[in-house]
């Protein structure tokens, strides 16, 4: 099961959120993505992702966590 939400600040900049539940592993995973196209074909991405176990009561325990950045630039000669 999953839930997705996206919001565009401008046609070239948006943020998106994805939350998923996996009943086989009893875990929730989520990510938050930011995309900015700062030039034609050139983009900046920032992504935060985590996975949490739901086997125990209370606040779910974090199994994995990651933060990623990516920048690409189109060069024209």
**Per residue in 10-54, pLDDT tens?**
989 999 999 998 888 888 899 999 999 998 889 999 999 999 888
Asked if the model's pLDDT at residue 56 lies above 90, the reply is no
E strand segments, the chain: 2-10, 13-22, 27-39, 42-53, 61-72
Structure confidence at residue 62 (pLDDT): 84
Q: What is the C-alpha to C-alpha distance for residues 4 and 31, in angstroms, rounded to an integer? A: 10
Scanning the chain, the segments in alpha helix (DSSP H) are: none
The whole-model pTM stands at 0.78
Asked if the model's pLDDT at residue 5 lies above 80, the reply is yes
């Amino acid at each position: 099961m999953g839930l997705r939400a996206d919001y565009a600040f401008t046609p070239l900049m948006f943020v998106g959120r994805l939350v998923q539940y996996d009943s086989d592993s009893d875990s929730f995973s989520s990510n938050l993505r930011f995309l900015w196209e700062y030039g034609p074909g050139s983009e900046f991405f920032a992504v935060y992702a985590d996975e949490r176990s739901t086997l125990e009561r209370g606040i779910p325990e974090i199994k994995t966590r990651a933060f990623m950045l990516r920048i690409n630039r189109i060069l024209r000669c």
